[in-house]
């Protein structure tokens, strides 16, 4: 017994040594490393997954082999999209208090391809069939297929998964029902007289039997792909740093391209749900995704100054937590490509080398390939995009004597206090008597520019000044706007 115990300890130490050695080993670009079952099992056991407990069998091994050997090119393209879609998945999962590890499900379903269509007709990141998609509020017609809309399909999928969990109370059964349908899972539970997936597995169709192992393999490959010499094929930087807004009126991709400078192909890639290359009119609003630094130009074109004022950014690019106006910045993650330096990235993202060093606590300018860097990108690319004069209390960052520390000027601090009291909502300026003025009541979707167009004797600038509308204030339908004085 003692001899066998010592032998096991030696074998374990040797396995750990091999794993460490292979982790730090440099591979040739086309080299495909191989690992023993013991090494794969050790890594899988280290996975912290709140959806499916780690498990290793021949089916899991087969899927890992598919990801790492048979379909390496497809895997590398999928890995390059992680920073595009995973933050969005995580945000919606956190909002619903659902396990973050459900983000691996679209890896299994579509390899993170929002345009994916299966042989059976399922589509999108989450592979909705048409009837299920419509049941969960996704439009499918000649103009749009919202199963391919990353945001709307994610919300629908999480609603569906949440309902399945309320029914089964077990994520393994939820995944099986998501793939094969609740009816098949219910029959398997009845035949197997159990609600344990692994016990009723043999009563399920072949594809559904393999679905949970495929999920385990997907979570493995995302976390350990570097061990297998898989190099993510990264998307364009503008595809990684995006912003999404709702648009209510009809607008074509051609118009969006002309006013924002966004390439038509990039527009189509970022917004795959639109079949005819335009956004149709929608009372509920259609989602439009653009490179983050191009969104201000679109908002300017749409004529919504009451929503656009809070997009004004200072000239410098500083860390938002230091200057207290982080609504003007996007916090983005960028994965370093081979040969890139701090100087090259500073030029690429229009910031200073010291900004990059401070944001990421870098001690050297040579960056290893695959390193994740944090950038703070202003939401406005140029202040002159705005058709209205800049207010005096625009947020400005003023350098203090201490290094890398910033404070707001006194007038900005005063504005924050006043705006906090009003909770950011529009209020009629004090001292204005109702019987002296002519009012206009805002209708749904009506902007200040729309109001100014209706009254020839008052301009947009007059409306902003006369009503004392400050940065951050919101004008909601029903608000009364002063448009002139009674004579």
Catalytic (active-site) positions = 109
Go through 112-128 and write b for each residue having 16 or more CB atoms within 10 A of its CB, e for each that does not.
bbbebeeeeebbbbbbb
Strand bridging mode 278-279 / 286-291: unpaired
The CA-to-CA distance between both ends of the chain, in Å, stands at 105
Report d(CA 94, CA 158) in Å as an integer: 11
| Chain centre distance of CA 414 | 34
CB-CB contact of 374 with 383 (8 Å): no
Dig out the tokens for 138 from the structure.
Answer: 């996704």
> What span, in angstroms and rounded, lies between the C-alpha atoms of 91 and 162?
16
Distance between CA atoms of 401 and 409, rounded to whole angstroms?
A: 14
Which DSSP string do the residues of 125-192 spell out, in sequence order? TTTB-HHHHHHTT--BSSSBBGGG-HHHHHHHHHHHHHHHHHHHS-HHHHHHHHHH-HHHHHHHHHHH
CA geometry: angle 206, 210, 216, nearest 5 deg? 175
Joined tokens for residue 404: 């890398």
Distance CA 190, CA 188 (A): 5
- The closest alpha carbon to 105, from 91, 131, 85, belongs to 85
Alpha-carbon distance 323 to 352, whole Å? 17
Query: Are residues 154 and 88 in contact, defined by beta-carbon separation less than 8 angstroms?
Result: yes
The Cα 301–Cα 259 span in angstroms is 7
Query: Any idea how long the chain is?
Result: 487
What whole-number distance in Å separates Cα of residue 188 and Cα of residue 182?
10
């Amino acid at each position: 017994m003692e001899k066998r115990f010592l032998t096991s300890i030696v074998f374990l130490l040797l396995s750990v040594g091999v794993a460490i050695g292979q982790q730090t080993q440099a591979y040739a670009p086309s080299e495909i490393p191989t690992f023993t079952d013991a090494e794969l099992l050790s890594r899988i056991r280290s996975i912290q997954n709140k959806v499916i407990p780690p498990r290793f069998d021949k089916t899991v091994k087969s899927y890992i082999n598919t990801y790492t050997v048979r379909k390496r090119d497809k895997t590398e393209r999928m890995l390059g999209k992680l920073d595009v879609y995973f933050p969005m998945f995580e945000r919606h999962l956190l909002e619903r208090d659902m396990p973050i590890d459900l983000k691996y499900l679209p890896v299994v379903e579509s390899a993170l391809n929002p345009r994916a269509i299966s042989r059976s007709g399922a589509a999108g990141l989450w592979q909705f069939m048409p009837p299920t998609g419509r049941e969960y509020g996704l439009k499918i017609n000649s103009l749009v297929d919202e199963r391919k809309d990353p945001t709307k399909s994610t919300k629908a999928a999480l609603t569906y998964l949440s309902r399945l969990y309320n029914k089964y109370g077990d994520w393994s059964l939820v995944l099986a029902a998501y793939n094969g349908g609740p009816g098949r899972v219910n029959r398997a539970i009845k035949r197997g007289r159990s609600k344990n997936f692994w016990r009723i597995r043999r009563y399920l169709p072949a594809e559904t039997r393999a679905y949970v192992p495929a999920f385990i393999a997907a979570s493995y490959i995302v976390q350990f792909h570097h061990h297998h010499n898989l190099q993510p094929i990264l998307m364009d930087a503008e595809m990684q740093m995006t912003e999404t807004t709702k648009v209510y009126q009809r607008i074509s991709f051609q118009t969006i391209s002309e006013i924002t400078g966004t390439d038509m192909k990039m527009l189509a890639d970022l917004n795959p749900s639109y079949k005819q290359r335009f956004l149709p009119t929608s009372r509920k609003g259609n989602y439009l995704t653009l490179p983050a630094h191009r969104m201000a130009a679109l908002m300017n074109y749409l004529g919504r100054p009451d929503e656009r004022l809070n997009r004004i950014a200072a000239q410098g690019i500083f860390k938002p937590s230091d200057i207290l106006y982080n609504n003007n910045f996007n916090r983005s993650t960028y994965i370093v490509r081979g040969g890139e330096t701090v100087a090259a990235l500073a030029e690429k993202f229009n910031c200073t080398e010291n900004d990059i060093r401070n944001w990421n606590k870098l001690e050297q300018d040579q960056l290893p390939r695959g390193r994740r860097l944090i950038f703070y990108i202003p939401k406005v690319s140029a202040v002159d995009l705005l058709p209205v004069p800049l207010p005096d209390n625009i947020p400005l960052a003023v350098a203090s004597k201490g290094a890398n520390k910033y404070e707001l000027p006194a007038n900005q601090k005063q504005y924050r206090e006043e705006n906090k009291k009003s909770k950011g909502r529009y209020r009629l300026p004090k001292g204005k008597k109702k019987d002296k003025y002519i009012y206009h009541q805002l209708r749904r979707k009506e902007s200040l520019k729309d109001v100014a167009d209706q009254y020839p004797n008052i301009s947009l600038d007059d409306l902003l000044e006369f009503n004392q509308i400050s940065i951050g204030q919101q004008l909601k339908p029903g608000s009364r706007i002063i448009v002139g004085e009674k004579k």
